[in-house]
Amino acid sequence: MPLIHYIESNGDEYETKLALGNSVMQGAVDAMIDGILAECGSKCRCGACHCYVDEDWVGRVGEASDAKKIMLEMVVDPQINSRLSCQILATKALDGLVVRLLKSQILINLSLLRAPPACFVQMIF
């Protein structure tokens, strides 16, 4: 099982092993890592699983497809190494992958936890 390293914007680091074929997003959600929200459940519609792939790993992860690039144009602070973590699937070649998580997603995550459900519904609609 490939080992994935997640680095939060504050420098905190987490590791988790993923079953082959599971997404980097799912690994973060299962490990309760704050920097990945993943609101659409891997449907490539929310961008809330945005991460930065460490520069040493960009070549192995590969380029985002055109559809994913469109979503990545809408995320906060996109960079050349931005990827949707729900679309990065664990393979043996990605054993040791390092992804960096965004502070902006932690702030969104915390604000959702603090908002009463009625306010959350009003924010969406």
Residue facing ligand FES at closest CB distance: 86
Please list every residue from 57 through 96 that binds ligand FES, using CB under 6 A: 71, 84, 86
- Can you give the length of the chain in residues? 125
Closer by beta carbon to ligand FES, 2 or else 47: 47
> Which residue, 91, 95, 105, is CA-closest to 33?
105
Taking phi first (over 0 means left), then psi (-120 to 50 degrees means alpha), and beta for anything else, what does residue 112 get? Answer: alpha
User: φ and ψ at 66, to 5 degrees?
Assistant: -60, -40
Stretch that binds ligand FES, among 2-10, 38-46, 75-83, 107-115 (CB under 6 A): 38-46
Residue 27, H or E segment:
helix 24-30
User: Which position among 44, 58, 76, 98 is part of the footprint of ligand FES (CB under 6 A)?
Assistant: 44
Q: In the complex, which residues of this chain contact ligand FES (CB under 6 A)?
A: 25, 38-40, 42-49, 71, 84, 86
